[in-house]
Amino acid sequence: MQLTAKQREQAEVLYLILGGMFITSLVTSNLIFQKFFTWTPFGLYTFELSVGIIAYPVTFLITDVISEVYGRKRANRVVLAGVFASMFSLGIIVVSAKAPATDWSPLSNAEFSKTFGFTFIAVGASMAAYLLAQLLDVQLFHFWKRLTNGRHLWLRNNMSTFGSQLVDTLVVVSLLCSFGVIPWALMPGLVLNGFLFKVLFAMFDTPVAYLLVYGLRRHFGLKGVGVELEF
Specify whether the CB–CB gap between 52 and 64 falls below 8 A: no
Q: What local confidence, expressed as pLDDT, does residue 134 receive?
A: 67
| Residue 228: inside a domain | no
Identity of the residue numbered 22: F
| Domain total of the chain | 1
Q: Is the dihedral of CA 206, 211, 212, 217 positive or negative?
A: positive
Q: What local confidence, expressed as pLDDT, does residue 226 receive?
A: 59
| Residue 57: inside a domain | yes
CATH at 96:
1.10.1760
Looking at the DSSP assignment, which residues form a beta bridge with residue 50? 36
| Residue 207: inside a domain | yes
Specify whether the CB–CB gap between 24 and 62 falls below 8 A: no
What is the Cα–Cα distance from 189 to 35, expressed in whole angstroms? 16
Across the range 52-56, mean pLDDT stands at 82
| Residue 231: inside a domain | no
**What is the band of 16 on the pLDDT scale with cuts at 50, 70, 90?**
very high
What is the Cα–Cα distance from 93 to 122, expressed in whole angstroms? 12
What is the Cα–Cα distance from 94 to 121, expressed in whole angstroms? 12
| Residue 137: inside a domain | yes
Identity of the residue numbered 21: M
pLDDT at residue 225 above 80? no
Specify whether the CB–CB gap between 33 and 19 falls below 8 A: no
What's the whole-model pTM score? 0.80
Its domain, for residue 165, covers 5-220
For 213-222, write each residue's pLDDT tens digit: 888 888 888 7
For 17-42, write each residue's pLDDT tens digit: 999 999 999 888 888 888 889 999 88
| Residue 166: inside a domain | yes
Specify whether the CB–CB gap between 63 and 138 falls below 8 A: yes
Of the candidates 143, 162, 168, 23, the residue with the CA atom closest to the CA atom of residue 72: 143
Across the range 6-19, mean pLDDT stands at 91
| Residue 53: inside a domain | yes
**What is the band of 157 on the pLDDT scale with cuts at 50, 70, 90?**
low
